[in-house]
Amino acid sequence: MANYLDLTHRREIQALAASFTAKTEWPTWLLLLGVYIGWFGVLLASHWLGLWCSTLLLIPLVTLWLSLQHELLHGHPTRFPLVNKLLGYAPFAVWYPYTLYRDSHLLHHHDEDLTLPGIDPESRYLNQQQWDASSRLQRSVHWLTKTVVGRLLLAAPLAISRLVHDQWQRLPEVWPMWLAHGVVTLLMLGFITHYSVVPVWHYLLLVSVPAMSLASIRSYYEHRPHLRPEQRTVLNEASWPWRWLFLNNNLHLVHHDLPKLPWYLLPTVYRARREQWLARSGGFLVQGYGQLISRHGLKAIDSPRHPFA
């Protein structure tokens, strides 16, 4: 457990970890069951719901699935990585194999490397060399993605484009992962074709991509460049719809400091020592995603150039 926590706080967290809820992980099991039932249920009922009502239900379900996959790769609801992988392998969001997401995201948890271009796999910043090598169009796109509207419109297509480029170069070593992912994805798309009114192209472009775009709001400003690693990660006091959609990962510093803490305990741990967490973050506090949207819908939140990389 993190050594900066005082003894009382450590004991409080240990007591939470020893509770019936944490030991059984029933909230995560229930959520897993709910998302699976919801996804299959919406598609099977799509003949009655209609195409667009089904779409509007599937987008947040797939976004929630992405948040749930994040929970699985961090060791919930079981301590067995293979079991969690099987539970989270369903390619509801299509584009990223679970294994790729898991391995990349765990590298992101090297906090001393957070935001550093070329080192942190989830960095959204460029070093000076990358910036100098960028065209005027590329620089404009980088600035645009620093707005909420640009993030919503461009984050998913750009991420898919980078994924194709990077994985194609690594194909000789990653083809077994992509073969397995491709087989399962084709089975899923076959189910969609035969048992729903949702066309495959519609699911790929108008369900999975918007779900990725919605999920990108969480990561829009969850890290910032700072000389002190613990002050690079945000505390976002989001309202309940966002908290549920992102499984409390808006309290991102708490998650980074205590990555094994399950999603349903993050708010309790944060509220118990709110002032301490704020001090540790260096005041890196956002008052909900509404604040980000209202202030930075069309205004860049910071520069795409990393200040000291």
Give the residue from 204, 281, 296, 208 showing the smallest Cα distance to 250: 281
Q: How confident is the model at residue 10 (pLDDT cuts 50, 70, 90)?
A: confident
Q: What's the pLDDT score for residue 9?
A: 75
Question: In the prediction, which pLDDT does 231 show?
Answer: 97
Cα 225 to chain centroid distance, Å, stands at 19
Q: pLDDT (tens digit, 9 = 90+) per residue, 55-85? A: 999 999 999 999 999 999 999 999 999 999 9
Report the DSSP beta bridge partners of residue 224.
none
Identify whether the C-beta of residue 158 lies closer than 8 Å to the C-beta of residue 212: no
Report whether 154 contacts 162 (CB < 8 A): no
Q: What is the dihedral of CA 26, 234, 274, 106, to 10 degrees?
A: 40
What are residue 198's phi and psi, to 5 degrees? -85, 115
Check: CB of residue 54 under 8 Å from CB of residue 198: yes
Tokens of 264: 């349903």
Give the span between the Cα atoms of 101 and 90, in whole angstroms.
Answer: 13
Q: Helix, strand or coil for residue 235? A: strand
CA distance 287 to 8: 28
Domain locations along the chain: 22-296
* Angstrom distance (rounded) from CA 175 to CA 197: 32
pLDDT in tens, 219-268: 999 999 999 999 999 999 999 999 999 999 999 999 999 999 999 999 99
Check: CB of residue 28 under 8 Å from CB of residue 77.
Answer: yes
CA–CA separation, 74 and 105 (whole Å):
9
The pTM assigned to this predicted structure is 0.94
Cα–Cα distance, 66 to 50 (Å, whole number) = 24
At 299-308, the pLDDT tens digits run: 999 999 999 8
Token output for 145: 């993605």
pLDDT score recorded for residue 6: 66
| CA–CA separation, 197 and 202 (whole Å) | 10
